[in-house]
């Protein structure tokens, strides 16, 4: 079970991995995620988003950044290896219907979970504009896949090494001013989602964000992933991961995501020793 | 085997209750080992000789699974531990677990004639401790016998969850000759026995062994499988060929208090705190990759067993001070007396008639202080418990860096959300008829998902009853 069938390195520490997961493949929908644990005894359970699936072969594709202990160990896995524990699909799927004009904004690795949503929105008959951004050209992922399912693609890099030199909020603002979308979907680092939500707020455009918070079980049992949405406490794992971006308390989310920073620095230091790839 | 003198009732009542050997409190707060070390054989026989072997056996009425208590206690008295465990196993699958975590003082031991005669429930025959001894003795002998399995029926039963209710349902359905598959969302089976109850109260090796007995019986356990998401509940019957399903998914969703500051960094549900430290082994620093918050001053809110577990775990993980905050008075605490006693020995500080009103954070949104409101005992409610009454304007503050919320769990709504036909009550518990069948034919449920958060043994009892109903249905 969960045998790895393909591994690609997309950039310095971003990897794309495909593995067999028939059950998950059968049920998964856009917007859902997985919990992966490498070692049953002492490993950490971490949430990872689904980037794609192949129903014919019963495989799931994930894209992840090797930044923590588990993702670094994951990056060392090779084709033929097995992933010990994969749970999913988790979370409430994206609400897909024909909204009309939709802008999808992806930042960094956030483009990966955004891709299935772009695909589903396009298939539902929406006019999809995709804005994808990264710090530089090297870090930009999945451009071609996104382009294949979008009516229009705008690429931004922070350093201008590719596409336009801008933050994703700039083309998003222009879209709101010139050709107001019916809906916006944003996935990326919390700070980027926060500023995208602030960008669309004055225009009153419904803005969906997909949150990635600290989780243990991913099934509603621990509440570690809780986030404040419109003054109410919600669990990202079962109530989300998608919420109304205009209601999310991003500052609280960012603070909560930093809860274990010191522990992580300690363990990733240990982990980098022995990291061969990337 | 020792000679048994025929003792008179008076003589039996005069035998002093045996003291459970325990790790020294100051030593045990530095390790994860079990607190209570267990009786010696001599102690068990002495304790068992206190039993009067009452004709009407009032203790049995207090047992949710009706174990023949005088039967196993009398066998233990004469040192026939093999017979003793055999008698228990006729009614209970998990004696080593129940002997440790059952609230005996509210069940069998509450009705014990010895305790009643001595006017002190704590002086009742130590039924649970005897049960624990004979179960451990049996395990040490390597006698984990496998029950007889009936001839294959060709029928398939799915069990959702692997906690106490599911374990007992799975065993009974398998014994009837059905193929049984259990589905567990976590990477390890056992439910609350592995994620919730700490190692120092219930060693995980014991749980593993009980689960292995199921495997040896031919029960298949599928891990990392969340029914509702990985597969819809009804698809198990409609698509996957199961003839019946038992849902024993428990009460897993933690309650929060909805007070200001509850989402600050350093505030945890007891579920999260205990799952990190038990299932994820965060106590094994350097080995476990799952982090646990580094705490110096911890406030635990609540007065149940889970609150005691969280407080005592925090102490073991290195907190200098652990404070339990409870809205009512000590005598109202739902926690077992023994757990409260152990907590006090471990220097946990209790604050009764106090409730947390607000949690304050520093510039980094980390907990730095709690604000408590004060209560006094008011008029008794219907159950005779005195209602806590707020003293307006009376508050106090305590510096804290961690707050653990242990104010109960409700049922996980996932199965309901993904199974529209399933009828639940206003608390989200699944409604069942007298045979534990839900509103959907051939789908049964039992344990905390039906009754709300309760005990291991009650869940086991319901699992057995549901299994009996399933076996009856499938025999048709």
Q: Which helix (H) or strand (E) holds A69?
A: helix A69-75
B350 close contact with A: CB closer than 8 A? no
B288 close contact with A: CB closer than 8 A? yes
B48 confidence band (pLDDT: 50, 70, 90) = very high
Residue A267 has pLDDT above 70, yes or no: no
**Domains of chain B listed by start with CATH number:** 9-140 (1.10.1060.10), 156-252+409-474 (3.50.50.60), 256-405 (3.50.50.60)
- Phi/psi of residue B282, nearest 5 degrees: -60, -15
Provide the pLDDT for residue A193: 97
pTM for the full model? 0.93
pLDDT tens-digit map of B324-366: 999 999 999 999 988 999 999 999 999 999 999 999 999 999 9
Residue B373 has pLDDT above 70, yes or no: yes
Tell the CATH topology of A101-257: Rossmann fold (3.40.50)
B364 close contact with A: CB closer than 8 A? yes
Q: Dihedral through CA A95, CA A237, CA A36, CA A190, nearest 10? A: 80
Encoded tokens for A265 = 């620095």
Would the CB atoms of B290 and A217 count as touching at under 8 Å?
Answer: no
Where are chain A's structural domains? 2-90, 101-257
Residue A230 has pLDDT above 50, yes or no: yes
Residue A275 has pLDDT above 80, yes or no: no
In angstroms, the separation between the Cα of residue A149 and the nearest Cα of chain B is 27
DSSP lists the bridge partners of residue A44 as: none
The residue with greater pLDDT, B250 or A102, is A102
Report chain A's C-alpha Rg in angstroms: 18
Q: Mean pLDDT across chain A, nearest whole number?
A: 92
Distances in Å between the Cα of B21 and the Cα atoms of A21, B43, B134, B342 are 50, 10, 16, 13
The tokens 């060392």 sit on which residue?
A: A76
Contact B238, B229 (CB under 8 A): no
Of chain A, the end-to-end C-alpha distance in Å amounts to 26
B188 close contact with A: CB closer than 8 A? yes
* Rounded Cα gap, residues B471 and B5, in angstroms: 45
In angstroms, the separation between the Cα of residue A177 and the nearest Cα of chain B is 36
Would the CB atoms of A220 and B187 count as touching at under 8 Å?
Answer: no
Q: Which helix (H) or strand (E) holds B404?
A: strand B402-405
B377 close contact with A: CB closer than 8 A? no
Would the CB atoms of A86 and B254 count as touching at under 8 Å?
Answer: no
B293 close contact with A: CB closer than 8 A? yes
Provide the pLDDT for residue B313: 97
- Tell me which long-range contacts B72-76 makes (C-beta under 8 A, separation of at least 24): B72/B130, B72/B131, B72/B134, B73/B48, B73/B125, B73/B127, B73/B130, B74/B48, B76/B44, B76/B45, B76/B48, B76/B130, B76/B133, B76/B134
* Rounded Cα gap, residues B375 and B446, in angstroms: 37
* Rounded Cα gap, residues A250 and A229, in angstroms: 9
The tokens 């790839």 sit on which residue?
A: A277
* CATH number for domain A2-90, candidates 3.40.50.2300, 3.30.720.210, 2.40.30.10, 3.40.30.10: 2.40.30.10
Q: Residues near B401 by Cβ (< 8 Å), separated by ≥ 6?
A: B266, B295, B296, B297, B298, B366, B367, B368
- CB-based burial, B164-197: b 16+ in 10 Å, e otherwise: bbbbbbbbbbbbbbbbbbbbbbbbbbbbbbbbbb
Provide the pLDDT for residue B72: 97
B251 confidence band (pLDDT: 50, 70, 90) = confident
Of chain B, the end-to-end C-alpha distance in Å amounts to 47
- Phi/psi of residue B35, nearest 5 degrees: -70, -50
Nearest chain A residue to B406 by CA distance is A222
Q: Residues near B83 by Cβ (< 8 Å), separated by ≥ 6?
A: B75
Q: Which helix (H) or strand (E) holds B26?
A: helix B25-28
Q: Find the CB nearest A233 among B231, B263, B413.
A: B263
Q: Residues near B167 by Cβ (< 8 Å), separated by ≥ 6?
A: B93, B94, B210, B211, B214, B460, B463
A44 close contact with B: CB closer than 8 A? yes
């Amino acid at each position: 079970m969960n045998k790895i069938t393909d591994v690609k390195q997309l950039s310095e520490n971003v990897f794309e991995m495909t593995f067999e997961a028939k059950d998950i493949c059968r049920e998964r929908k856009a917007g859902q995620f997985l919990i992966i644990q490498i070692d049953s005894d002492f490993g950490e359970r971490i949430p990872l988003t689904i980037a794609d699936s192949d129903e014919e072969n019963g495989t799931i594709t994930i894209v992840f950044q090797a930044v923590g202990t588990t993702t670094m160990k994951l990056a060392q896995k090779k084709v033929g290896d097995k992933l010990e524990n994969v749970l999913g699909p988790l979370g409430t799927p994206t609400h897909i219907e024909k909204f009309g004009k939709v802008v999808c904004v992806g930042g960094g690795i956030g483009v990966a979970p955004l891709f299935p949503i772009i695909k589903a929105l396009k298939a539902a008959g929406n006019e999809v504009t995709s804005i994808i951004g990264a710090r530089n050209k090297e870090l930009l992922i999945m451009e071609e896949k996104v382009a294949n399912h979008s009516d229009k693609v705008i690429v931004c890099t922070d350093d201008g090494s590719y596409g336009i030199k801008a933050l994703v909020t700039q083309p998003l603002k222009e879209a709101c001013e010139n050709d107001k979308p019916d809906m916006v979907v944003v996935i990326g680092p919390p700070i980027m989602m926060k500023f995208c939500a602030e960008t669309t707020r004055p225009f009153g455009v419904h803005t969906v964000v997909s949150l990635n918070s600290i989780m243990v079980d991913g099934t509603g049992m621990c509440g570690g992933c809780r986030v404040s949405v419109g003054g109410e406490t919600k669990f990202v794992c079962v109530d989300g991961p998608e919420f109304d971006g205009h209601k999310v308390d991003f500052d609280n989310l960012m603070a909560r995501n930093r809860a274990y920073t010191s522990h992580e620095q300690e363990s990733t230091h240990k982990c980098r020793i022995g990291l061969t790839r990337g | 085997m020792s000679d048994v003198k025929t003792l008179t009732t008076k003589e039996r009542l005069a035998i002093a209750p045996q003291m459970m050997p325990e790790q020294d409190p100051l030593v045990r707060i530095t390790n994860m080992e079990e607190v209570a070390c267990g009786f010696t054989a001599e102690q068990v026989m002495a304790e068992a000789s206190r039993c009067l072997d009452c004709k009407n056996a009032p203790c049995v009425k207090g047992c949710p699974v009706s174990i023949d208590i005088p039967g196993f206690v009398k066998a233990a008295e004469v040192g026939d531990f093999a017979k003793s465990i055999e008698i228990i196993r006729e009614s209970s699958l998990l004696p080593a677990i129940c002997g440790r975590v059952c609230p005996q003082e509210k069940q069998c031991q509450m009705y014990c004639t010895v305790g009643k005669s001595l006017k002190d429930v704590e002086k009742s025959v130590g039924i649970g401790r005897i049960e624990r001894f004979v179960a451990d003795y049996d395990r040490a002998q390597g006698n984990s016998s496998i029950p007889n399995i009936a001839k294959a029926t060709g029928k398939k039963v799915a069990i959702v969850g692997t906690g106490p209710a599911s374990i007992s349902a799975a065993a009974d359905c398998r014994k009837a000759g059905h193929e049984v598959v259990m589905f567990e969302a976590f990477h390890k089976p056992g439910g609350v026995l592995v994620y919730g109850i700490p190692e120092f109260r219930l060693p995980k090796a014991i749980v593993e062994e009980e689960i292995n007995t199921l495997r040896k019986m031919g029960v298949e356990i599928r891990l990392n499988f969340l029914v509702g998401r990985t597969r819809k509940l009804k698809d198990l019957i409609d698509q996957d060929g199961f003839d019946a399903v038992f849902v024993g998914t428990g009460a897993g969703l933690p309650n929060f208090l909805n007070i200001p500051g509850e989402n600050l960094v350093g505030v945890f549900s007891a579920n999260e705190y205990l799952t990190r430290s038990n299932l994820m082994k965060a106590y094994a620093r350097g080995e476990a990759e799952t982090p646990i918050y580094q705490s110096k001053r911890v406030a635990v809110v609540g007065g149940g067993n889970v609150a005691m577990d969280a407080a005592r775990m925090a102490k073991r993980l290195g907190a200098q001070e652990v404070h339990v905050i409870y809205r009512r008075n000590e005598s109202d605490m739902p926690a077992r007396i023994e757990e409260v006693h152990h907590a006090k020995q471990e220097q946990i500080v209790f604050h009764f008639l106090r409730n947390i009103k607000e949690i304050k954070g520093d510039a980094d949104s980390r907990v730095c202080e709690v604000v408590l409101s004060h209560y006094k005992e008011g008029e008794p409610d219907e159950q005779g418990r005195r209602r806590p009454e707020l003293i307006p304007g009376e508050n106090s503050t305590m510096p804290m860096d961690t707050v653990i919320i242990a104010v109960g769990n409700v049922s996980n709504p996932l199965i309901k959300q993904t199974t529209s036909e399933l009828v639940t009550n206003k608390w989200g518990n699944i409604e069942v008829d007298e045979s534990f069948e839900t509103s959907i034919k051939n789908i049964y449920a039992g344990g905390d998902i039906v009754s709300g958060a309760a005990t291991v043994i009650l869940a086991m009892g319901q699992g057995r009853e549901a299994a009996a109903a399933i076996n009856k249905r499938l025999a048709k």
